């Protein structure tokens, strides 16, 4: 049986892993390779690296650290941040990343998703979606790596997810911004709505604070994986301990 | 022992190369069949689509050379699928080293597509050398939308809306649908097992 995935998320800025609350006030939490190694050892099923400044600055992630991570760890990882072209994606995949995730550049140019899926196969292409409730509707946000440049676009979150999958995205990471970093639990309602609109794997992001939150995301929103950052960075819980809890609760995890 | 890692130019071979490094397995990257003189076994990795991958293999003569090669061969993911006769992915003709067709995974209700994540190896053949030290139920990492239905050459399977060939073998030709290079300690063991066949 397919296991539900626990995915630590490492927000990368200027070569270090950082973490903010609701996308602001970032603090340094460690070195990239050092944290990647620790999480792989503790039982993480996959890692996601977001270069949170890349899109906002018009820069792209550096393949050097992608390669350093690939050399070090024996679990899959995804790289996100400022991938604007097939060439950007190729550099990261050839450096050893298993998947690439597109967010802001895909909003500017949705055809990028088609081009990436055609070139590398949809299994490599992850659609990252930052979403927030506005006037009763979930809406997509853009450029969230930099508070001064963050803006809401007109797209409705669920429409964008469906379009992204039609265009060839093989996985969706839904980051519920209202919950990000506050550890009050995942946005179950939004995730469940996204699940219904999403035929590919769906990964929950934003809000994990306690073990029960992971359980709820899997049981109530039926997500394939749950992504979290601060609870792991700050050692609120260990991944092994979380997976033991989930296993005991009847949720299938990789031991 | 030297493994020749076949680089078709369209697959991400870095992660396989790094996994061989971590496992301490000697290897060289080979682009053409005439570069394999020092190799006593070959790995055909694969990410991407069947049609373009076969085009590149043919352009470098691998379709002919692999047919007459007697060295142990391990195809990984798409590389495993290419060992078979044809693929539904773009209706591609493949290497025909193993009998069978590559099909699209059914988009069954309640199962997301593609098959992505850690799933278990089931019904392992007791005498499969790649599986030495790997018990049934071991989790390995899969990412694929096409598959080879379990059949005569299947040595371990995985269930995901269909009985998927997870490990295949006939004589010296073998393959893994999953990614041993991204399957933690179990994956490293499988690569080491391949190196000691």
Question: What number is the average pLDDT over the span A24-36?
Answer: 85
Identify the CA nearest to B182 among candidates A97, A31, A126, A34: A97
Whether the bond between B22 and the residue before it is cis, its omega within 30 degrees of 0, is: no
Residue of B nearest to A89 (CA): B12
Residue A118, pLDDT score: 87
Report pLDDT digits (tens) over A174-190. 999 888 777 899 999 99
For residue A152, give the DSSP letter.
Answer: E
Beta bridge partners of B27: B3
The alpha carbon of residue B111 and the mean position of all alpha carbons in its chain are separated, in whole angstroms, by: 24
Whether B181 is catalytic is: yes
> Which backbone phi and psi does A81 adopt, to 5 degrees?
120, 105
Q: Which of B27, B39, B94, B181 is catalytic?
A: B181
Residue B124, pLDDT score: 96
Contact A228, A8 (CB under 8 A): yes
Confidence of residue A21 (pLDDT cuts 50, 70, 90): low
Residue of A nearest to B145 (CA): A123
Question: What number is the average pLDDT over the span A13-21?
Answer: 78
Chain A contact for B56 (CB, 8 A cutoff):
no
Using the structure block, give the residue that is written with the tokens 């139920």: B137
> Which backbone phi and psi does A65 adopt, to 5 degrees?
-75, -25
CB contact under 8 A, B15 and A70: yes
Percent of chain A with pLDDT over 70: 89
CATH, residue B160: 3.40.50.880
Confidence of residue A32 (pLDDT cuts 50, 70, 90): very high
Interface confidence (ipTM) of the complex: 0.92
Shortest CB distance from B116 goes to which of A74, A75, A201?
A201
Q: Is the pLDDT of residue A41 over 80?
A: yes
Whether B27 is catalytic is: no
**Neighbour count for residue B136 (Cβ, 10 Å):** 11
Q: Is B158 helix (H, G, I), strand (E, B) or coil?
A: strand
Residue B100, pLDDT score: 97
CB contact under 8 A, B112 and A254: no
Q: Which of B39, B77, B94, B176 is catalytic?
A: B77
Report pLDDT digits (tens) over A81-101. 878 899 999 889 989 999 999
Contacts of A121 in chain B (CB under 8 A): 47-49, 78, 145
Question: What number is the average pLDDT over the span A135-140?
Answer: 92
Distance CA A104, CA A84 (A): 9
For domain A5-248, is the CATH number 3.20.20.70? yes
HSE (side-chain half, CA atoms, 13 Å) at B26: 7
Report pLDDT digits (tens) over B128-172. 999 999 999 999 999 999 999 999 999 999 999 999 999 999 999
Distance CA B21, CA B39 (A): 16
Residue A228, pLDDT score: 94
Task: Give residue B135's domain range.
Answer: 3-195
Question: What number is the average pLDDT over the span A188-204?
Answer: 96
Confidence of residue A157 (pLDDT cuts 50, 70, 90): very high
A-to-B residue pairs, Cβ atoms closer than 8 angstroms: 96
Residue B185, pLDDT score: 95
A146 or A253: whose pLDDT is higher?
Answer: A253
Q: Is the pLDDT of residue A161 over 90?
A: yes
Residue A230, pLDDT score: 86
Task: Return the domain boundaries, chain A.
Answer: 5-248
Question: What number is the average pLDDT over the span A192-218?
Answer: 96
HSE (side-chain half, CA atoms, 13 Å) at B121: 30
Report pLDDT digits (tens) over B4-58. 999 987 667 899 999 999 999 999 999 998 899 999 999 999 767 888 889 999 9
For chain B, how many structural domains are there in total?
Answer: 1
Residue A140, pLDDT score: 93
Specify the pairing of strand B163-170 against strand B173-176.
antiparallel
């Amino acid at each position: 049986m397919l296991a539900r995935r626990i995915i630590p998320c490492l927000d990368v800025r200027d070569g270090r892993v950082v973490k903010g609350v609701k996308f602001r006030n970032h603090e340094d939490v460690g070195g990239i390779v050092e944290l990647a190694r620790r999480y792989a050892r503790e039982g993480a099923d996959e890692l996601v690296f977001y270069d949170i400044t890349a899109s906002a600055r018009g820069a792209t992630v550096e393949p050097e650290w992608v390669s350093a991570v690939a050399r070090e760890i024996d679990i899959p990882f995804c790289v996100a941040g400022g991938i604007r072209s097939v060439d950007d994606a190729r550099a990261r995949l050839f450096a050893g990343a298993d998947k690439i995730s597109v967010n802001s550049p895909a909003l500017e140019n949705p055809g990028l998703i088609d081009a990436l899926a055609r070139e590398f196969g949809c299994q490599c292409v992850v659609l990252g979606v930052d979403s927030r409730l506005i006037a009763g509707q979930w809406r997509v946000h853009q450029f969230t790596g930099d508070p001064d440049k963050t803006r809401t676009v007109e797209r409705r979150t669920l429409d964008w997810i469906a379009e992204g999958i039609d265009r060839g995205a093989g996985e969706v990471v839904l980051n519920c911004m209202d919950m990000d970093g506050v550890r009050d639990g995942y946005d179950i309602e939004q995730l469940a709505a996204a699940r219904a609109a999403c035929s590919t794997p769906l990964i929950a992001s934003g809000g994990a604070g306690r073990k029960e939150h992971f359980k709820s995301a899997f049981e109530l929103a039926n997500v394939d994986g749950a992504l979290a950052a601060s609870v792991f960075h700050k050692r609120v819980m260990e991944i092994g301990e979380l997976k033991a809890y989930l296993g005991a609760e009847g949720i299938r995890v990789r031991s | 022992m030297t493994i020749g890692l076949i680089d078709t130019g369209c697959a991400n071979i870095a992660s396989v190369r790094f996994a061989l490094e971590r496992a301490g397995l000697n290897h060289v990257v080979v682009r053409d069949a005439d570069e394999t003189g020092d190799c006593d076994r070959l790995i055909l990795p694969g990410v991407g689509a069947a049609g373009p991958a076969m085009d590149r293999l043919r352009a470098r003569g691998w379709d002919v050379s692999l047919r007459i090669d007697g060295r142990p061969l391990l195809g990984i993911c798409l590389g495993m699928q290419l060992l078979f006769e044809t693929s539904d992915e773009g209706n591609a003709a493949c290497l025909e080293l193993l009998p069978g067709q590559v099909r699209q995974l059914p988009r069954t209700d309640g199962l997301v597509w593609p098959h992505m994540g850690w799933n278990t190896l089931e019904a392992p053949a007791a005498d499969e050398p790649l599986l030495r030290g790997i018990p049934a139920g071991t989790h390995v990492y899969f990412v694929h939308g096409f598959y080879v239905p379990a059949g005569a050459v299947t040595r371990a399977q995985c269930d995901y809306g269909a009985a998927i060939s997870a490990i295949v073998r006939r004589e010296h030709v073998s393959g893994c649908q999953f990614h041993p290079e991204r399957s933690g300690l179990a994956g490293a063991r499988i690569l080491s097992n391949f190196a000691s066949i």
